[in-house]
Structure formats: structure tokens, C-alpha cells
Chains A and B, each alone.
Chain A
Amino acid sequence: MSLIFEHFNHWVVVILMMIGLYIVITANNLVKKVVGLNIFQSAVFLMYITMGKVVGGTAPILAEGVTQYSNPLPHVLILTAIVVGVATTAVGLSLVLRIKSAYGTIEENEFQNKEDVI
């Protein structure tokens, strides 16, 4: 039983990753693909933050009378990763906009039909 609780976070993370990946692969609409990517990435963020947590600790900001802090390093990493994620999203969505204006559609199967697939 304790195993379930101790790993619950990890398993949810795994489920979220699977959902994200599933959306990326199956989505026909490019915007939805981008959403899927974001979900996938957020799941990874969650994994990192989970490992930084110390039960009974507080946020890593120096405070009087606190001895147990959670680990600041994963937070830093994920701050960076979130920024990377939004950067990718922005570029991805601009590509989607350009695809829309070039092909008139952002449904994958439709624009694939419009070109000689290589």
C-alpha cells in the first residue's frame, strides 16, 4: 500500500506523458498536436518537481526557524524547461499559421494530400 502512495506521483506523471504522446501521434489537427506536446512536456516538469520535494520541507526561500527545505535545483531546471517549452510552442504555432495560409488547412491528412509526399 505504501508503495502506491510513494509512487503515486510518478505513475500519474507516466499517465500524463502517455496521454500527451498519444495526442501528439493521433491528433490530425496541428494545434492539437502542439497542445499534446505541451502536455507531454508538463508531465516531465512534474516529474522533476516531484523529485525535488521533501515531505515536511518548505519552499527553498530562507526563512527563520526552518531547517528542512525542498531541493531548489529541480526548480531551476524546470524554470528553464518551461521557458524552452513556451518557446517551442510559439515557433510551432507560427508554423501552424503559415501552414494555414499556404495550404488553407491545418489538418494533417488534408495538406498531405495536397503535395507529393516524399
Chain B
Amino acid sequence: MFEQHLAVLPVLLPLIAAPLVVLINKPRAAWLLSTLFVGACVYISFGLVSATMDGGALRYALGGWEPPWGIEMRVDSANAFVLLTVSVIATLVLLFAKESIASEVAHKQLPLFYSAYLLCLAGLSGILITGDAFNLFVFLEISSLATYTLVSLAADRRCLTAAFRYLVMGTIGATFILIGVGMLYMKTGTLNMLDLAERIQAVESHRTINTGLAFIMVGVSIKLALFPLHMWLPAAYSFAPSAVTAFLAGTATKVAIYVMLRFVFTIFGAGYVFEQMNMEIIVLVLALAGIFQCSFVATTQSNIKTLLAYSSVAQVGYIILGVSLVSLTGLTASLLHIFNHALMKAALFMAVGAVFYRMGSVQIIAFQGLGRRMPWTMSAFTIAGLSIIGVPLTVGFISKWYLVTAALEQGNWLVAFLVLVASLFAVVYIGKVIEAAYFKEPSEDADATKIKEVPVSMLIPMWLLVLANIYFGIDTSLTVSAATAGAEALLNGSSLVGGVQ
């Protein structure tokens, strides 16, 4: 019974929990219920990862209608891996959110918050595991609508304009994807991804398909905040409630990246996208430009959430860079970095959220002297920051290693060099915060005696992430093999065609 439905449960559980939470309408119970359901999702994702490790795929026909007539969920090692990332981050952030959100969102709205959170998670999971191009759009919209809500729940009024801008950009992006999917459907008559992949070969060079590809790429690029379509992201991340930022930074853009991978590798086929259309050059240049521009902008910020948001855009550039190398190592690097970056950014944003919890500000001046007053929070920030920089023994180093190796494999020494040089920007912007925290005296107006460490319930998830940052920086066997399996699944569609139902 349980085994049979494994592939649909990651979507179903949060989808059912979301209305229940509204019905319960008690903040504490709502939190407990959400945590239980999301925790169950983690368990299921683990099951899915282990079930797909051997390169097979789980298929689940909804309504019992076999594809392409019905909608199917399809889990292979690539999306199982990303799904695991998303559900783990979601659980940890939920643990963190209990205290953090209670201090930022009105008590009465808390059940609504948790419901939106669950909807967002359900949407993201749905995007990941669906095997139907239109169903993907539906889940994209579920997650987007929930995200707009989550962003707009903060106390700072600027979150409203940020959410609105996000809404406009997000809707344009989703509509672009809808246009693209429509064009594919028009030429092939199907919406199922595998079926599309098969039938698209016959019409590959048609102009409609080219346009469809362009629209899907642009639409997805908006969602994943690829430079220069990233302008919605810094504002949204800066002004959203802390826990929401931690959640989004760890998951939302990652899922969008996965969508790009799915479209490029499964549906269009790497040969068409990269060899015929030469997309990799455009993507490579944009990724590099994004890495440099946004890393530089990050160094000039004084609002730490904005700083980290720009850093996120830059990190997205790294992931996309790996994709543009079109090789097994490159894809492995991308998938690894999806996971690793989720670990580091979620930890960083949690630490910043903890500072906000105590200081009520995330300006750099609020960080001054915190090293002594909030030692656990700031040491978490430091370690996660080192991970962003890519210091050995953290996950950041692993990602960087694979990315540069992939570039060198292609003989692309320049790109390899640029990647390394770009990571130096991280030294500057992380160093700025650490220096303020440990080597500056607290600013005068802050009532120093009041500031103490945040509650343990916030520290535990933060430190779990930090420890994961170190653990997976040392023992890479699990992540690397999962990422490699995912990359292989993406690169050869054959494992997708087969598979059990």
C-alpha cells in the first residue's frame, strides 16, 4: 500500500495538510501538524532516493490512466535527489520557524502562514516529480501563489512591493512557460514529458519548437533568477520573513533549476539544445556575468539579507555554469551544488533570522559585537560562510572542486580560473560580516545587556545544517553518488523510458 504510492506521497501529504491546518486554526497545533507531515515527506524522499539509486524510475499513473492520456508522476534519481534537498530544508526551516515566525507574523495569521508554507512545499514537490508538462505549470502556480503570500507576511512594508514585483515577474515567467509548452503541444499533440521527448525528435528543427525552447528557457530563467532576470529576487529575499527567506533560498530557485534541467535534457534533448541551438554559450556567458556582477553587488550591501540574496543569484550562476558545460561531471557539479548551496544558504539565512529575532535589524551595524553575545548563532554563520567561500572540509569546497574539474575536463581553463576568482568575492562579503561580529564593538544604541542567544529551538535546526555542511564536506560518498546517479539519469533518457509503475 505504502510502497505503491511512494511516488505521489511527497505532493499529496502537504496538499492534504494545508487545508487541515486552516481548519485546525490553532498556531501551535498547526505547527505540529505541519512538522509531522513535512517530516513524513523527508522520510518518503529518502525512500525515493534509495529506490531510484540504481538508475531506475518510479512511475505513478494518477487516476489509473496510463500516460500520455493521464497524468503521471515520475521519480528518477535526479528529481529524488532534489526532492530530498527540498524536504529536508523544509523540515528544518519549519523547526526554526516556530519561534522566528511567531515573532514576525501576527498570531492570528500563523495558521494561514503554515498553510501557505505547506502549499508552497507541495507545489515545489509537484514540480519536481510530475511527468507532465502542463501539470508542472499548475504546481508552479501553486508554489508561486503561496510564495507571494509568504513573502508579503513580513512586518516591513517593503515586503509588499517586493511581493508584488515578484508576482508580476513570476506570472510573466509562468506564462512564458505556458506559451512554450503550448507550442510543444501544438507540434506534438502530447503533454507527457517522455512522450514529448520521443515525438519532438520528428519536428526538432521546426521554428515553432525553437521558439518554444526560447520561451521556456526565458520563463524558467525568470523563476530561477538567472542574471539578468534576477531583479525580483533580492527584494523578495530581503523583506520576506526570515524563515521564509531561509526556505526560499534553499528550495525555490533550486526547483526552477531542476525544471530547466528537465526541459533541456529530458524533453528537448541535450543534442538539440546545445548542439543545434548552441544554448550553452548564451547560458555560460550569462552565468559568468551573473556570478561576477552579483558577487560584486553583494560586497557593497549593508543589509545582510540583501547581501546574501545577491550571493544566491551568484550561486545560481555556478549551478547554471555546470549545466552549460554539458558533461557528466558538470551536471554532477550542478546537482551537488543544488544540494550544497541549499545547506549553506538555509543555514546563513537562519543565522541572519536569529539575529533579526534578537536585534530587530539585519543591517551590518546590528551584527557588531555579536560574536560574544550570540556565540552559537555567529559561529554557525561563520562556518556556513566559510562554506560559501568554498573552504576545504565544507560542502562549498566539494561543489567548487567538481565545477572546476568539469571545466578543466572540457579544456576550458579560462572558465575554471574565473570560477575560482569569483569565489574570492565571497571572502569579501562574508568576511565583512564576520569582522563586524567578532572584531567590532557593539553600536552604542543597541541595548547590549539584553542581547542574548536565541532559543534552542532555533539553534538546533541551524546547527544541524551547519553540521551537515561539514559532514557532507568530509564524507562525500552519499551526495556525490546520488548526484552522479541523478546526472546520469538526466543525460541518458533511457533509464527514464524504462522503469516500473
Whether the Cβ atoms of B175 and A92 lie closer than 8 Å is no
Q: Are A88 and B141 also in contact (CB < 8 A) when A24-B168, A95-B148 are?
A: yes
Interface assignment of B172: CB less than 8 Å from any CB of chain A: yes
In the complex the two chains form, what is the Cα distance from A21 to B169 in whole Å? Answer: 11
Whether the Cβ atoms of B168 and A51 lie closer than 8 Å is no
Q: Are A95 and B185 also in contact (CB < 8 A) when A37-B171, A87-B145 are?
A: no
A73 smallest CB distance to B (angstroms)? 8
Q: Are A24 and B172 also in contact (CB < 8 A) when A84-B138, A95-B167, A111-B161 are?
A: yes
Is the interface on chain B under 10, 10 to 19, 20 to 34, or 35 or more residues?
20 to 34
A69 smallest CB distance to B (angstroms)? 15
Interface assignment of B100: CB less than 8 Å from any CB of chain A: no
A91 smallest CB distance to B (angstroms)? 6
The 8 Å CB contact of A33, one of B158, B168, B303, is B168
Whether the Cβ atoms of B175 and A99 lie closer than 8 Å is no
Contact residues of A between 44 and 102, Cβ < 8 Å to B:
44, 47-48, 51, 73-74, 77, 80-81, 84, 87-88, 91-92, 95-96, 98-99, 102
Inside 8 A of A99's CB, which chain B residues have their CB? Answer: 160-161, 164
Closest residue of A by beta carbon distance from B310:
A118
Whether the Cβ atoms of A88 and B167 lie closer than 8 Å is yes
A83 smallest CB distance to B (angstroms)? 9
Interface assignment of B235: CB less than 8 Å from any CB of chain A: yes
The 8 Å CB contact of A47, one of B161, B179, B235, is B179
Q: Are A102 and B182 also in contact (CB < 8 A) when A37-B168, A41-B175 are?
A: no
Q: Are A44 and B175 also in contact (CB < 8 A) when A99-B160, A102-B157 are?
A: yes
Inside 8 A of A51's CB, which chain B residues have their CB? Answer: 182, 185-186
Is the interface on chain A under 10, 10 to 19, 20 to 34, or 35 or more residues?
20 to 34
Interface assignment of A11: CB less than 8 Å from any CB of chain B: no
B138-164: CB near A (< 8 Å → 1, else 0) gives: 100100110011001000011011011
Q: Are A37 and B186 also in contact (CB < 8 A) when A84-B138, A118-B306 are?
A: no
In the complex the two chains form, what is the Cα distance from A111 to B334 in whole Å? Answer: 39
In the complex the two chains form, what is the Cα distance from A37 to B141 in whole Å? Answer: 14
Whether the Cβ atoms of B164 and A96 lie closer than 8 Å is yes
* Majority secondary structure, B binding face: helix
Interface assignment of B238: CB less than 8 Å from any CB of chain A: yes
The 8 Å CB contact of A118, one of B138, B149, B163, B235, is B235
In the complex the two chains form, what is the Cα distance from A80 to B163 in whole Å? Answer: 23
* Majority secondary structure, A binding face: helix
Whether the Cβ atoms of A21 and B172 lie closer than 8 Å is yes
Closest residue of A by beta carbon distance from B238:
A118
Whether the Cβ atoms of A98 and B160 lie closer than 8 Å is yes
Interface assignment of B134: CB less than 8 Å from any CB of chain A: yes
Whether the Cβ atoms of B172 and A40 lie closer than 8 Å is yes
Whether the Cβ atoms of B179 and A91 lie closer than 8 Å is no
Interface assignment of A22: CB less than 8 Å from any CB of chain B: no
Interface assignment of B234: CB less than 8 Å from any CB of chain A: yes
Interface assignment of A115: CB less than 8 Å from any CB of chain B: yes
Interface assignment of A8: CB less than 8 Å from any CB of chain B: no
Inside 8 A of A73's CB, which chain B residues have their CB? Answer: 191
Contact residues of A between 6 and 51, Cβ < 8 Å to B:
17, 21, 24, 30, 33, 37, 40-41, 44, 47-48, 51
Whether the Cβ atoms of B138 and A30 lie closer than 8 Å is no
In the complex the two chains form, what is the Cα distance from A37 to B166 in whole Å? Answer: 13
B107-146: CB near A (< 8 Å → 1, else 0) gives: 0000000000000000000000000001001100100110
Which of A21, A47, A88, A115 gathers most chain B CB within 10 Å?
Answer: A88
In the complex the two chains form, what is the Cα distance from A118 to B301 in whole Å? Answer: 9
Interface assignment of B82: CB less than 8 Å from any CB of chain A: no
Can you list 18 pairs linking A and B with CB atoms under 8 Å apart?
A: A24-B168, A30-B164, A33-B168, A37-B172, A47-B182, A48-B185, A51-B185, A73-B191, A77-B134, A77-B191, A80-B134, A80-B138, A95-B163, A99-B164, A103-B157, A115-B158, A118-B235, A118-B306
Could you tell me which A residues sit within 8 Å of B by CB distance?
A: 17, 21, 24, 30, 33, 37, 40-41, 44, 47-48, 51, 73-74, 77, 80-81, 84, 87-88, 91-92, 95-96, 98-99, 102-103, 111-112, 115, 118
Could you tell me which B residues sit within 8 Å of A by CB distance?
A: 134, 137-138, 141, 144-145, 148-149, 152, 157-158, 160-161, 163-164, 167-168, 171-172, 175, 178-179, 182, 185-186, 191, 234-235, 238, 303, 306
Per CB-CB distance, the 3 closest pairs between chain A and chain B, nearest first, are A102-B157, A84-B141, A95-B164
Further contacts, 6 of them, CB under 8 A, given A40-B175, A92-B167, A95-B167: A51-B185, A84-B138, A87-B145, A91-B148, A102-B160, A118-B234
